[in-house]
Amino acid sequence: MRGEDEAMQMREGARAAMAGKTFDQNFYDLLEIPRNAAHHEIVAAYQRAKEAYSPDSPALYTMFSKEEATELRRLIDEAFMVLGNQTKRREYDNILLAREGRSETERPPAQPAPTPSVSPAPNIPAPANTNAPLPEGFARSRLSVYEIRADMEHEIANQKNFDGPFLRKVRQYKGIHVDQMSKETRISRSYIVAVEAEDFDALPAPVFVRGFIIQIARILALDENRVANSYMTRLNVKES
Amino acid sequence: MKTVANLSDYKSTTRGTGSPSSIILAVGGGKGGVGKSFLSTNIGIFLANMGFNTIIVDCDLGAPNVHTCLGEAPPKLNFHQFLSGRLENFEAAAVATQFAKLRFIAGGNDHQELANITIHDQSRLMSAIYTLNADFTILDLSAGTHTSTLDFFLMADRHLITLTPDPTSIENAYRFMKAAFFRRIKRFERQLGLEALVASIMAEPEKNEIRVPADLLSRILKENPEAGRELEKFMHHLRFELVINQTRSTKDVQLANSVSTVSKKYFGLPAGVLGHLDYDNAVWHALRKRRPLILEFPNSPLYAQILAIARDLASPHLKKAVI
């Protein structure tokens, strides 16, 4: 269960992100990892930091006082507790982004905005393949539960031109993450990204791309043949 | 087959005017006996073997011994001839070694006052080093944190720090890094008009919440973003590269990573681990015979470890095959 004070802590961490002080760094800077670090990188960074700041580490000697070292160890544990947990990390990212947006409006975010996550709102049942009844206004895809929006449903029903950005839009609307998609379809993440970005140079031969599109369309509950035909036409035009 | 790349397009931005005519590597470390001369000479040998024209400069003015590490007799030509004006050209003081493409400039052995070099002589020496005609210039520094040592260290393109896993060595390495850090700030604060600001911040470190040097940089950045960013750029050229020497276990090797992590946090500057050298009695035996290790014990595991470090240093400048 996530307590009130924990959420508070995370906000504190986010506040610190702006301060730029060594003892007030955000959790990413603290572990010296980029914002988009993969889970295994976070684990490795945590182990490295644990080792470096362990009480008997010779590397600490004369650099940080005993109290400072204790504080750093506490911060590192805290950072890992948040970043090592997918759900908490996402919340933390949102807080960080919100903070940065507010204090430095003129600067674009340091990295592309994260793909809207699968994180369901607290009152929505998460797993997609259970048969529990859904609250009013929600629907289930093969991988997620999402809130039905009339305008999007209308757009999907009337769409004729299924291009990469539109596939991304539908995927995001249905709250499916690229990684989930990749896991389910066994198409590599980079290909899915390339399909959505219409980066045709990064894609394999058309026959494979067609297979990808069909699989993606199935997950998104779109008419697979219509989507594939539309997308492949675009691809052929661009190629020639 | 020639592996040496075209080095002329390599530009150093570390100094204000012009760029050095060679890539300067400084080997420092604070404490004595941690293998600075051993590392500089061996890196020199490997770089020369790779085909780079290399000059080792013995900047340990008070206690030079690069010649011994290289297995050469103390040469007649050295710093002193240049400083006293008997040699016009500093490069003429570079004497050949038994290794092709490797030369070295010895520190004076007999001159009393050479260790206490004047500011004027020091800047002459630095500009002479700056214009040495070679691919790589390796500066073997002295122990301690004397300002001249720090200046030699800071003029380099790559900043190597040697340390051993002993607490004394780690302590001195940190001290050395800290001294270099503040020396560098001092060097640029006047240029950027930050003198008053730095002085006022450092007058009350407690009140200004300056707990580690990294805080000073972020504080300056906050107070004066424009000059602060410039300063940050200059400071980021100061990237410490650690070589941990005399390691006896994997724990010792990991220690280098810990030192790098801690110093990154402390200084707020990038720091990396360049490599490690195992403890090996062969070094001691080779030194006794006054022969370079790679000639005396070519099968020592150190051979591969030094080669790895030298390759790492040379890799940005090696011509790569394009497939």
User: Per-domain residue ranges for chain B?
Assistant: 23-315
Is A133 within the bounds of a domain? no
CB B25 within 8 A of CB B140: no
B95 forms beta bridges with B104
Is A33 within the bounds of a domain? yes
Lowest mean pLDDT among A77-81, A121-125, B54-58, B318-322: A121-125
Contacts of A20 in chain B (CB under 8 A): 218, 221-222
Q: Within its chain, how far is the Cα of A138 from the centroid?
A: 22
The tens digit of pLDDT for each residue in A39-89 reads 999 999 999 898 888 888 888 877 888 888 888 899 999 999 999 998 999
Instruction: State the sign of the Cα–Cα–Cα–Cα dihedral A66, A70, A73, A75.
Output: negative
The tens digit of pLDDT for each residue in A142-180 reads 888 888 888 888 888 888 888 899 999 999 888 888 888
Q: Which fold, B23-315?
A: Rossmann fold (3.40.50)
Domain count, chain A: 2
* ipTM > 0.90 (yes/no): no
B58 forms beta bridges with B140
Distance from CA of B215 to the nearest CA of A (A): 6
Measured CA to CA in angstroms, residue A211 lies from A11, A78, A169, A190, B117 at distances of 44, 44, 20, 15, 74
Is A129 within the bounds of a domain? no
Q: Can you give the pLDDT at residue A129?
A: 47
Contacts of A48 in chain B (CB under 8 A): 257-258, 261
Residues with Cβ within 8 Å of residue B271, at least 6 apart in sequence: B239, B240, B241, B242, B259, B260, B263, B264
Measured CA to CA in angstroms, residue A40 lies from A85, B47, B104 at distances of 12, 37, 47
Kindly state the DSSP code that residue B109 receives in the 8-state scheme.
S
Is A17 within the bounds of a domain? yes
Whole-angstrom Cα Rg for chain A: 22
Domain containing residue A148: CATH number: 1.10.260.40
Lowest mean pLDDT among A24-33, A128-137, B296-305: A128-137
Is A93 within the bounds of a domain? yes
Instruction: State the sign of the Cα–Cα–Cα–Cα dihedral B107, B110, B111, B112.
Output: positive
Which of these, B286, B288, B240, B245, lies nearest to B264 by C-alpha position? B240
User: How many Å apart are CA B115 and CA B58, to the nearest integer?
Assistant: 12
- Residue among A23, A51, A57 whose CB faces B211 most closely: A23
User: How many Å apart are CA B158 and CA A81, to the nearest integer?
Assistant: 37
Is A223 within the bounds of a domain? yes
Measured CA to CA in angstroms, residue B74 lies from B77, B95, B100 at distances of 9, 10, 19
Could you tell me the residue range of the domain that residue A95 belongs to? Answer: 4-103
User: How many Å apart are CA B102 and CA B158, to the nearest integer?
Assistant: 19
B25 forms beta bridges with B138, B158
Distance from CA of A101 to the nearest CA of B (A): 18
Residue percentage of chain B with pLDDT more than 70 = 91
Q: Per the CB < 8 Å rule, is B264 touching A60? A: no
- pLDDT average, residue stretch B159-164: 94
Q: How many other C-beta atoms can be found within 10 angstroms of the C-beta atom of residue B196?
A: 9
Tokens encoding A229: 């035909």
Half-sphere exposure of A199 (CA within 13 A, CB side): 8
CB B143 within 8 A of CB B31: yes
From A77, A103, A129, the end of a domain falls on A103
Which residue of B lies nearest to A54 if distances are taken between CA atoms? B258
Domain containing residue A38: CATH number: 1.10.287.110
Distance from CA of A154 to the nearest CA of B (A): 50
Q: Can you give the pLDDT at residue B219?
A: 86
**B143-178: buried (b, 16+ CB within 10 Å) or exposed (e) per residue?**
bbbbebbbbbbbbbbbbbbbbbbeeebbbbbbebbb
Q: Per the CB < 8 Å rule, is A61 touching B255? A: no
